[in-house]
Structure 1
Amino acid sequence: MPNNRGSKRAFGSIRKLPSGRFQARYLGPDGRQYAAKRSNGDPLTFDTKGDAEGWLSLRHSEVLRGEWLPAPKPTVTFAAYAGSWLAARELAPRTRELYRRLLTNHIEPRFGTVALGAITKSDVRAWHAGLTCGRTAKSHAYQLLRTICGTAVVDDLIPSNPCQIRGAGSTKRARKVTVATATEVATLAAAMPSRFRLMVLLAAYAGPRFGEMAELRRGDIDATNGVLRIRRGVVRVTGARLVKGPKSDAGVRDVVIPPHVMPAVRAHLSEHTQPGRDGLLFPAASGVQLNESTFRRHWYAARTKASRPDLRFHDLRHTANMAAAAAGADLPTLMARMGHSSTGAALVYLHTAAEQDRAVAERMSELATGTANVVPIKSKRRRKSG
């Protein structure tokens, strides 16, 4: 039987292949393994062990004389590498769609045909300065380019990451959210078609996201105990509906619905929900999950009636979280209602509630010390029964 084990040598190793030919390889000064290859890059094997030893001796002498050069790295375009990078990652469908869109619309038009190793820092700065998309898309495009190039560094395809623009990958909230008041929420709900009114109330007092509400089923509502069970959400990916679980385990949650919303819940279950436990709570006219674009048309009209043209529907989630914090929810409770696994977002609401509580306390002191302008409340006299 042929001996397939590599022979021990001071420099390199030789292996006899099942075909009877010999393969030679060695560890280069750069720490990489090199096997004998032809000039076109195809593997090179030898008729005899002596021929393989001769090839290794030539390579060893090149190393000793300082004439050894590493094999040139294969030239790969950014588009080719980005494609393989994207294919190798486990991503949520909408994230994959976002990355593909960023590559197609913003990154590959400039770098797609460029060799990965030829992209320079100045190229990236010029590209970033010339992007005409919105602030968020610009930041996301830069983040994606930086991440892909970072992986290329790890893969030893480029020596360093050319994405070195300080702060280019950070996103700041472009608008300040002013939460809706209870009166505004009531006005918004009343202005919506009856089949959508509960969506407004649940968003403002229980805080589910639109995609979570669009996938709610009759069985997800415990009308006896007033509990909303959030287990799934629906998203649109390349025009198709995709039902999936929440982003994290914390997204699977039970949210207690405030009692004053429960009459609307029961009325909606009776009048607008599809029959059976799996019946959609907020079905579209066609019977499938509601599209956000359909809902948005009515929402725009309602927020105009409420004199809140600035209010996005997602802002009602902030309203719900702020109300829960103001009502005394502690950090774990607030995180559970929000469906968040990290404390960062919940602490924002708790901090804001604490500031409001301080303002209330200061106002109480002003009233107690007589330094505030107090408008007396006129009490109604009881009529004496005749």
Structure 2
Amino acid sequence: MRSAFGSIIQRKNRQGYVISLEARYPNPLDPSKRVIKSFPLGAKAVAQHWLDEEKKLVDAHMAGTETWTPPKVREAKKTKAKILFRDYSEQFLDTYRTSDGSKLTEASARKKREAIDHLNDYFGDMMVSEIKQKNVEDWLDGDYVDGVHALRRAYQVLKAIAQKALASNEEEPALLDSDPCQRPNPKLPKSRQSIIPPATQEELGLIYNAMPDYSRIAIYLGAVFGLRISEVCALQVCDIDFAHKLLHVRHALTRGDGDTGTLSFKGTKTESSNEDLPIPDSFTPLIKEHIKAHCESSKTAMLIPAKHSNIMSPNTLRAQFDEAKLAANRPDLHFHTLRATAITTAAQAGGTPKEVQEYGRHASAKISLALYQRATRQGERQLANKVFATLVKPERTRDLIEAEYKETLKQIQELQDKVKNLETELKAME
């Protein structure tokens, strides 16, 4: 049976028996293709009704009053419109991939799971298609998530879920008509770690000496190379290239399913973190002495040996550091402050913003620039004094002369103290 719009034909099996009816008509988006729907035998009237209804949709599309979509998409949309947020969020987590197509690490998956748990407390029993901007803003304004950091992470995940629900193709219709996440991410308070002063040479020495002898080298590895604690614990003897005076940073650490279980190697935090770092000449003897005293002869031996496992746990090293830092009267320090200390010192030593970024192995210049600005700001007074002395010749008053006199005496005393220290060192070597 054929009409001006479409046709209904009989479908036969290989033996030639009629098994069903098939209604079809040209796809209005691509006339070279056909839209097809099967019906049981004896349902010709139903098939014709379907064709009549489809013709109305196509006519409206051609008139520009509606947008035609394939029947499969319409049927899928009706079904998917009933999907609960908690079910959709589970699917989102199961299929989530990073920008390079890889699966999440166990630690990252755990954080996303925590975020989705927060979201499910509010949105879980809502249908995805029903979530509107007002719902999201009520959630953001309510006291549903403890702490701005957790709220921010949960909102970022919600934004990603919304973008997935907004996407559509011929087989998967969009579940949302508009993006409900219109508000910017909640602002984070200034990081407390960002205002912690870097460790001084004297403080690092006190902390180093207060650490267990087999792990104290970690202090200088963190402070000199700016390594993260997981990168320090992942170092092997083979990562130390004495011939070329390079430290190869290739690994960090991870755990098994659910971010639990035995520690194992994983890639560094970012691609830029994977780097060959020059070993300072004066650092080489100290590293060699450590390897000789505390490391196994195997090249794959861990540089920071563990007492009760194959790999030193970052939590164990962090606990040792937290106890040792008290010897320097620096309870405010975190192990990560050693990384900031390295980057800050690189800036104070005259490194350019780009050099500081590369030294810190930051993928983004924003973090390095903040540390660079903090470091160079500490020298602003000295710089201001130099500019003033160059550009301004003040009147030689008594107060000015007395101030210069006191400053000169202070400089002389500092030089005399330095001379005494050098003499003491020389005598100790006789």
Give the match for residue 148 of structure 2: 135
| 8 Å contact kept, 1:254–1:337 | no
In 2: Cα distance, 1:361 partner to 1:146 partner:
46
Give the match for residue 366 of structure 2: 344
The change in CA–CA distance for 1:61 and 1:137 in structure 2 (over 3 A counts) is closer
| 8 Å contact kept, 1:283–1:289 | yes
CA apart distance, 1:61: 4.2
Q: Percent identity of the aligned residues?
A: 26
Matches within 5 A, 1:19-168: 19=13, 21-24=20-23, 36=37, 44=39, 52=47, 55-61=50-56, 73-74=78-79, 75-90=82-97, 91-93=103-105, 94-104=107-117, 106-128=118-140, 129-155=142-168, 156-168=174-186
In the alignment, structure 2 segments of 5+ residues that lack a partner are 98-102, 169-173, 395-399, 421-430
In 1: Cα distance, 2:373 partner to 2:384 partner:
17
User: Equivalent of 1:259, from 281, 294, 301?
Assistant: 281
Matches within 5 A, 1:1-386: 11=5, 19=13, 21-24=20-23, 36=37, 44=39, 52=47, 55-61=50-56, 73-74=78-79, 75-90=82-97, 91-93=103-105, 94-104=107-117, 106-128=118-140, 129-155=142-168, 156-168=174-186, 170-175=187-192, 176-237=195-256, 238-240=259-261, 241-365=263-387, 373=404, 374-376=407-409, 377-378=412-413
Give the match for residue 4 of structure 1: none
> C-alpha offsets along residues 184-203 of structure 1, whole Å, 9 cap, x if unaligned?
21121111111221111111
| 8 Å contact kept, 1:204–1:320 | yes
The change in CA–CA distance for 1:45 and 1:161 in structure 2 (over 3 A counts) is farther
| 8 Å contact kept, 1:217–1:278 | yes
Q: Which moved more, 1:49-58 or 1:130-139?
A: 49-58
| 8 Å contact kept, 2:343–2:372 | no
Give the match for residue 3 of structure 1: none
Please state whether the residue corresponding to 1:254 is helix, strand or coil.
strand
| 8 Å contact kept, 1:24–1:45 | no
Give the match for residue 39 of structure 1: none
The change in CA–CA distance for 1:364 and 1:214 in structure 2 (over 3 A counts) is same
CA apart distance, 1:293: 1.9
| 8 Å contact kept, 2:39–2:47 | no
CA apart distance, 1:308: 1.5
In 1: Cα distance, 2:288 partner to 2:242 partner:
7
| 8 Å contact kept, 1:28–1:34 | no
CA RMSD of aligned residues (A): 3.6
Please state whether the residue corresponding to 2:311 is helix, strand or coil.
coil
In 2: Cα distance, 1:177 partner to 1:100 partner:
31
The change in CA–CA distance for 1:34 and 1:222 in structure 2 (over 3 A counts) is same
Letter in 2 for 1:130: D
CA apart distance, 1:357: 4.5
Please state whether the residue corresponding to 2:330 is helix, strand or coil.
coil
Letter in 1 for 2:124: G
CA apart distance, 1:236: 3.0
CA apart distance, 1:16: 7.0
In 1: Cα distance, 2:136 partner to 2:336 partner:
34
The change in CA–CA distance for 1:349 and 1:11 in structure 2 (over 3 A counts) is farther
Give the match for residue 428 of structure 2: none
The change in CA–CA distance for 1:349 and 1:58 in structure 2 (over 3 A counts) is closer
Please state whether the residue corresponding to 2:316 is helix, strand or coil.
helix
In 1: Cα distance, 2:213 partner to 2:191 partner:
33
TM-score, normalized by length of structure 1? 0.81
Richer in helix (by share) = 2
The change in CA–CA distance for 1:24 and 1:191 in structure 2 (over 3 A counts) is farther
In the alignment, structure 1 segments of 5+ residues that lack a partner are 1-6, 37-42
| 8 Å contact kept, 2:237–2:299 | yes
| 8 Å contact kept, 2:7–2:24 | yes
Q: Which moved more, 1:214-223 or 1:61-70?
A: 61-70
> C-alpha offsets along residues 305-362 of structure 1, whole Å, 9 cap, x if unaligned?
2122111111110111111122233345433332233322233333334434543322
The change in CA–CA distance for 1:15 and 1:343 in structure 2 (over 3 A counts) is farther
